[in-house]
Amino acid sequence: MKAGDKIIYGDITETEAITEGWFFKPMIIEDIQPNSPAITEEFFGPVFTLFRAKDQNEAISLANSSEYGLGASLWTQNEERA
Q: Determine the structural domain holding residue 5 and report its residue range.
A: 1-12+24-82
* Neighbouring-strand partners of residue 29: 7, 49
pLDDT in tens, the chain (82 residues): 556 678 878 776 655 555 666 667 788 888 888 778 877 777 777 888 888 888 889 888 877 877 766 566 777 888 887 7
48, part of any domain: yes
Q: d(Cα 2, Cα 16) in Å, to the nearest integer?
A: 24
Return the CATH number at 6.
Answer: 3.40.309.10
Decide: pTM greater than 0.95.
no
Count of domains forming the chain: 1
